[in-house]
């Protein structure tokens, strides 16, 4: 069976068993398939769950890339939002933690890879259709193998 790009992205980013166990509930893994099969009345909620799953992967990458505590905090907010039972509950969860998102962007220094991840994160939040979300997922899948997660320890020695 062919693995869908959404699921492939989740499995690639959350490859460590501890991360997968913590962040990837079976409903998160199945979110895209559930979205595709959703009844019209449920489609907005199912799309939001896909959006949150993609955003979760991008923030996980950003957190790992720069060892950013702020990105981990946003990652935790997104993870809590994924457990919300409705679009309104997702919005409430995100709005309660708006300051967490603001801190992510305050005094944030990122390299080119981090900028590309943040750009994809913004596109994820702006995506309002399946084709736009599919574009983000495909671009994220192309980006992941190119990211350099090594820490430049020479920078620490020069400080």
Q: What is the pLDDT of residue 59?
A: 92
Nearest-angstrom CA–CA distance, 78 and 59: 9
Q: Is residue 29 part of a domain?
A: yes
Q: What is the DSSP letter of 85?
A: S
At CA 121, angle to CA 152 and CA 91, rounded to 5?
130
Is residue 84 helix, strand or coil?
coil
Does residue 27 sit within a domain? yes
Residue 151, domain member (yes or no): no
0.85 exceeded by pTM: yes
Q: Residue 92 sits in which domain range?
A: 5-145
User: Of 29, 33, 9, which Cα lies nearest the Cα of 130?
Assistant: 33
The whole-number pLDDT of residue 109 equals 63
Q: Which helix (DSSP H) or strand (DSSP E) does residue 131 occupy?
A: helix 130-143
- CA-nearest of 25, 97, 106, 13 to 62 is 13
Alpha-carbon gap, residue 46 to 35, rounded angstroms: 5
The larger pLDDT score, comparing residue 108 to residue 133, is at 133
């Amino acid at each position: 069976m062919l693995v869908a790009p959404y699921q492939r992205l989740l499995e690639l980013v959350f490859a460590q068993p501890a991360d997968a166990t913590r962040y990837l509930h079976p409903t998160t893994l199945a979110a895209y398939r559930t979205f595709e099969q959703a009844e019209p009345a449920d489609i907005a909620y199912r799309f939001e769950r896909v959006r949150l799953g993609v955003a979760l992967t991008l923030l996980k990458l950003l957190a790992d890339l720069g060892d950013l505590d702020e990105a981990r905090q946003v990652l935790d907010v997104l993870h809590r939002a994924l457990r919300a039972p409705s679009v309104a509950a997702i919005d409430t969860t995100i709005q309660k933690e708006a300051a967490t998102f603001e801190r992510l962007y305050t005094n944030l220094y990122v390299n080119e890879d981090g900028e590309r991840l943040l750009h994809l994160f913004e596109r994820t939040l702006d995506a309002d259709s399946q084709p736009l979300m599919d574009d983000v997922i495909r671009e994220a899948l192309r980006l992941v193998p190119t990211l350099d997660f090594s820490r430049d320890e020479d920078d620490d020695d020069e400080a």
